[in-house]
A = this chain, B = another copy of it.
Amino acid sequence: MLNRHTVERLVIYNRVLKDLAKKNVKWATSEKIAEILFRSPAQVRKDLSFLGKKGKPGVGYNIRSLIGELDSTLGLRKTWGVALIGAGNLGRALFHYPGFKREGFEFRAIFDNNSSKIGRRWGDITVTPITSLNSVVRKRKINIAVMTVPDYAAQEVADKLTAAGLKELLNFAPVTLNVADNVNVRYADLALELENLSYNLNHRALK
Contacts and interface: CB of A to CB of B under 8 A. Distances in A.
Given A74-B198, A75-B199, A198-B80, A191 B89 contact: no
A195 B8 CA distance: 9
A206 to B, nearest CB: 9
A203 B1 contact: yes
Interface string A98-115: 011001110000000000
Interface in A160-207: 167-170, 174-176, 178, 184, 186, 188, 190-205
Interface in A93-131: 93-94, 96-97, 99-100, 103-105
A51 interface: no
A157 interface: no
B176 A197 contact: no
How many monomers of this chain does the complex have? 2
B11 A201 contact: no
A11 B14 CA distance: 30
B76 A198 contact: yes
A184 B10 CA distance: 22
A7 interface: yes
> Is the contact region of chain A dominated by helix, strand, or loop, or is it mixed?
helix
A11 B74 contact: no
A74 B202 contact: yes
Contact of A90 (B97, B143, B174, B205): B97
Interface in A61-95: 73-76, 78, 80, 82, 89-90, 92-94
A176 B146 CA distance: 24
A65 B14 CA distance: 45
A175 B199 CA distance: 24
A37 interface: yes
12 contacts: A7-B196, A11-B195, A12-B192, A73-B199, A74-B195, A74-B199, A75-B201, A89-B92, A92-B93, A186-B193, A188-B188, A188-B190
